[in-house]
Chains A and B, each alone.
Chain A
């Protein structure tokens, strides 16, 4: 028996900011969930199951969100599942929810991811003082910056590419009312003039720390037929993992990412992603990851990702817009960041992305990664159902 087609009929998110002191975590997730229900014109009673994801427990000291948030998410008397995969969790959470619909276990599923970074401490969570081990010398940026230098060496990219990405994403964020950073008056000179934190990564090329949540309502064919607004159809979705460190690990272009993308393209019948996909919302916490992932995801040959960025192909009005929402560089509630990518892809193919809508976006890829480049999750959504 073939899988049930899965449709996204509701998308909701909070207005992401540095600190939401006015709400509890329950209040924060509730806002996103209600916006998703409103978009789908559904009520709590229409939801058959809830699947949630969040950042690693140590980040915000919240160990059992499925227990704490069951009433806030209308999950009483329903199955409620929690998904863990570090920074990619928002993506894998959406995929677990989608699989429940595809397998005809449930008809309509609410999926949600969140983080209140203002009440978290990711830096502390990542650097617990493990006995006998050397302390981590440089924080998250210090972990990723050497990989960026490796990419620059391998690809021969000019050292201004990262700044171009940050300049683009921050301008895109100005068109997205939900984005955290709205840097009016941003210029390329300002991006280039920012201090180097972990050379080659400038302050202006790093992501902010945000409070936010994102929710989606996923449903089957019958649910999509009742939806008041156009659905986004899941054309392919996959997850892949690999160890953080192993001999032969390619941090610049991890094999798990390549394999994950290939699986999605196979499911969706994508022969040439650069030709067949209209836009990409990818997980770029440090600007240079845009050209790196363009190669990893097959949009450019090895060493060619930066040329797409440099030539303007990834601009909002370019041939392959990347991070139309402003991306992780403009909004980063870590636990929700992956789902925000997936949700943006859905909004684009539904034609509901507002000012940052890409004209004629029919197939859009949402991408998330996490851990030490070890978890990958992606989905390709389209404006037409699979097989259409």
Chain B
């Protein structure tokens, strides 16, 4: 059995977020070196602030400045900081109840080792050198044995508030297409298209998934299909996609390869786009080192009769 493939898959995107009034004030405050909480109906000051009271569900907007000093309420040591975490050297994740706040804020504590951290220890904010209006404006917390700092009583009003942030998301996977897809991909490297037949309904799946989605049984019998096929339906693409280097207009078609019971999707070339039609007979055009046919072109055969492909649109 040929080797089952795998490859890294990184999914990342810079999502944006509009902040709304409360988060806007909180993050703008951080930019200005001010920590703001919001007063809940029960009198507690919530830090970080939220827009809606967690007890009464009412809207809350009463912003209150709290101190940059506080007390660790609990912690966990992080032996191996990972990409994107607040510090590059081992540190403690801490929940810090800032002086004046009724709830604790999650952040990092810069400490030489776990022996230097304890619940109840006093800490203060170490501000980032460059601040933009983000939680990373707090570089981390650091141990502090001085007096509690009195907040100045900021109103929460700013002249140039931060209203939106970018929150990059990234997920690292190892992707494995599985046995059936691996077989299919190996066959393609020899320019052969090999599907699998369902032992129950006898349909030939291309690309194969290792199981028939209709019958729910494993498919193992390999069946070579094509290389020629029939255009069953198509559209003419007139807008350029960002990630594709294809000149528009081009034809994006569903192609039923001879012997397959499911249409593949591919580009049609070698014919003016406005002459492509349902029933057109086509064959693959390969380029050097490509995993898939670059496109399909007319094979020169007469068009297929609609009745022969109407179930394969």
Contacts and interface: CB of A to CB of B under 8 A. Distances in A.
A and B found bound together: yes
Interface of A: 20-27, 30, 44, 58, 60-61, 71-74, 76, 116, 118-121, 124, 127-135, 137-139, 141-142, 145-150, 153-154, 195-201, 243, 245-248, 251-252
B43 to A, nearest CB: 17
Contacts of A134: 266, 291-292
Contact of A124 (B9, B13, B198): B13
B9 A130 contact: yes
Nearest to B20: A24
Given A137-B237, A196-B236, A247-B201, A72 B51 contact: yes
Nearest to A153: B278
Interface string B41-62: 0000000001111111101000
Closest 4 CB pairs of A and B: A24-B20, A145-B235, A74-B57, A131-B7
A135 B239 CA distance: 16
Interface string B15-32: 111111101000000000
A199 B18 contact: no
Interface stretch (B72-80, B91-99, B135-143, B161-169): B161-169
A132 B236 contact: no
A200 B235 contact: yes
Contacts, number: 166
Nearest to B264: A134
A139 B167 contact: no
B129 interface: no
B271 interface: no
B261 interface: yes
B244 interface: yes
B238 interface: yes
B20 A23 contact: yes
Contact of B233 (A124, A141, A150, A248): A150
Interface string B244-260: 10100100111000000
Given A21-B163, A134-B292, A149 B185 contact: no
B262 A245 contact: yes
Contacts of A128: 9, 11
A45 B11 CA distance: 41
A40 to B, nearest CB: 15
B5 A201 contact: no
B244 A60 contact: no
A139 B18 CA distance: 26
Nearest to A195: B238
A247 B52 contact: no
A248 B203 contact: yes
Contacts of B181: 132
9 contacts: A26-B20, A58-B11, A119-B18, A134-B291, A141-B235, A142-B237, A142-B252, A247-B198, A248-B311
Nearest to B8: A131
Contacts of B187: none
B84 interface: no
Interface residues of B, number: 67
A308 B135 CA distance: 56
Given A137-B244, A138-B235, A121 B13 contact: yes
A76 B55 contact: yes
B234 interface: yes
B296 interface: no
A150 B263 CA distance: 13
Contacts of A27: 20-21, 51
Contacts of B9: 128-131
B238 A198 contact: yes
A240 to B, nearest CB: 15
Contacts of B265: 137
Contact of A243 (B57, B213, B253): B213
B313 interface: yes
B233 A153 contact: yes
A132 B267 CA distance: 18
B243 interface: yes
A30 B233 contact: no
Contacts of A196: 236, 238
A149 B233 CA distance: 7
A278 to B, nearest CB: 33
